[in-house]
């Protein structure tokens, strides 16, 4: 293990994009539904538009402009907008409810389950996600994600990057901030965790937004670890 990473007892994981492939999973289900219903929809663009509404909705909550809501509720409100934007008017209420739960069925990246099992053998592994608990539990059961513990936005009634999320997880594990490492594919999430005293692991997910979208994948010396995958992370942490 690198000297900097020593002392980490728990890893807390961002989930959407870091552990699971939201873009591929959502696009695949939208494509299937479109075929079934005879709709003409660009499924990849639909997935991106749905995801794009997510951060602004959470920011309204963090600024106190909207009450706390579970991501399931936020996703559903965005879905209504996106369906209008894509001129899809023929889904039944049942089809919309089922489609909204696609976020409970997102598929893990190919290295995720194997990597998590190796990490779990030596360290506590937990989610620290803006998703809600039921979403994260369903996703873990679908995908075989072996979490020791699920921390979610509804555990704390907050969203990342509020410091209460990072410090809340450390507090519930009775660990000092520096004994916890935040694992994410997103630099702002890691920088917010680092500002709370957590260690950080940047994991590169070049296909998070599908093919053909350039992402900032540069390693940064400010992070405790920069890794190509969860298997690389396990190697670097000596797991």
Residue choice 112, 158, 175, 237 for contact with a second copy (CB under 8 A): 175
Q: How far is the CB of 131 from a second copy (least distance, A)?
A: 12
Nearest to 156, CA basis, from 142, 166, 143: 166
Q: Which is nearer to a second copy, 130 or 132 (CB)?
A: 132
Nearest to 13, CA basis, from 238, 235, 234: 234
The stretch among 106-114, 149-157, 180-188, 216-224 that binds a second copy (CB under 8 A) is 149-157
Task: Note whether 72 binds a second copy by CB under 8 A.
Answer: yes
Q: Which is nearer to a second copy, 44 or 175 (CB)?
A: 175
Residue choice 40, 174, 216, 218 for contact with a second copy (CB under 8 A): 174
Task: Note whether 124 binds a second copy by CB under 8 A.
Answer: yes
Residues 141, 144: Cα–Cα separation, whole Å: 5
Beta-carbon contacts of 108 under 8 Å, excluding residues fewer than 6 positions away, are: 19, 20, 21, 143, 144, 145
Peptide bond into 233 cis (omega under 30): no
Residue 131 C-alpha from the chain's centroid: 7
Size of site (CB under 8 A) for a second copy = 20
Binding site for a second copy (CB under 8 A): 70, 72, 124, 126, 132-134, 137, 140-141, 147-150, 154-155, 172-175
């Amino acid at each position: 293990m690198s000297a900097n990473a020593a002392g980490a007892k728990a890893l807390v994981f961002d989930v959407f994009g870091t552990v699971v492939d939201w873009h591929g999973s959502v696009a695949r289900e939208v494509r299937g539904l479109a075929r079934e219903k005879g709709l003409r929809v660009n499924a990849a663009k639909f997935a991106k538009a749905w995801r794009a509404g997510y951060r602004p909705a959470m920011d309204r909550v963090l600024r106190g402009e909207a009450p706390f809501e579970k991501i399931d509720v936020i996703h559903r409100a965005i879905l209504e907008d996106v369906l209008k934007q894509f001129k899809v008017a023929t889904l039944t209420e049942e089809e919309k409810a089922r489609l909204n739960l696609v976020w409970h069925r997102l598929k893990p990246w190919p290295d995720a389950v194997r990597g998590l099992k190796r990490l779990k053998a030596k360290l506590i592994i937990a989610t620290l996600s803006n998703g809600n608990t039921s979403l994260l539990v369903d996703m873990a059961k679908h995908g075989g994600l072996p979490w020791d513990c699920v921390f979610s936005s509804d555990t704390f009634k907050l969203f990342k990057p509020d410091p209460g999320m990072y410090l809340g997880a450390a507090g519930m594990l009775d660990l000092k901030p520096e004994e916890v490492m935040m694992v994410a594919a997103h630099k702002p999430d890691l920088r917010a965790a680092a500002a709370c005293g957590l260690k950080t692991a940047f994991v590169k997910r070049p296909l998070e937004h599908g093919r053909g979208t350039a992402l900032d994948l540069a390693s940064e010396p400010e992070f405790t670890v920069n890794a190509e995958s969860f298997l690389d992370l396990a190697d670097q942490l000596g797991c």
